[in-house]
Copies of this chain bind each other. A is one copy, B any other.
Amino acid sequence: MVGNGAGLRSGQVAEMTGVSPDTIRHYERIGILPHPPRSCGGYRLYSADVIERVHLVRRALQLGFTLAELSEILRVRDKGGIPCRRVLHLAEEKLRSLEHQIAELRQTQTYMKSLVRQWRSKLALTDPSSKALLLHSLIDDGSSLPNTKKKLRRRK
């Protein structure tokens, strides 16, 4: 084992934060983690505080921040800047789109529920050789479903 007085290797950081070593390297590539010093053999030697940073990033990702945003924010912070207002602004934005998205999903849920109920009973009293009853009921009835379902979701 390499002496860990010198620092944490990428795999150790990965394990301690619950992500893959690939992800750690990726975060470094896009400027979210600093370039750590290297051992004589070329291994990254992280100081313990990257753990906090990775946790922070994971949590922010869950909230809907993107890696690009985090990279920008953390860069500012690392240069001594104060990105707090930016962070708050982004958070407010995420919250709004979150609420919007929930509303859409619930609308879809409502529709879907009635659809499944309707399909179940229809299927129950149809003899098993009849056709094409289910999907077909989707073609009319153009309301009751949101249409702006962009991929505004987050996290792997």
Q: Which residues of A contact B (CB under 8 A)?
A: 52, 55-56, 59-60, 62-64, 73, 77, 80-85, 87-88, 91-92, 94-95, 98-99, 101-102, 105-106, 108-109, 111-113, 115-116, 119-120, 123, 126, 128-136, 138-139, 142, 145-147, 149-156
Contact = CB atoms under 8 A, between A and B. Distances in A.
A23 to B, nearest CB: 14
Q: Interface residues of A: mostly helix, strand, loop or mixed? A: helix
Contacts of A88: 116, 119-120, 123, 134
6 contacts: A56-B139, A59-B145, A63-B111, A63-B115, A77-B132, A95-B112
Given A146-B62, A149-B62, A153-B151, A85 B138 contact: no
A34 to B, nearest CB: 15
Contact of A106 (B59, B102, B134, B142): B102
| A81, A109, A126, A150, most chain B CB atoms within 10 A | A109
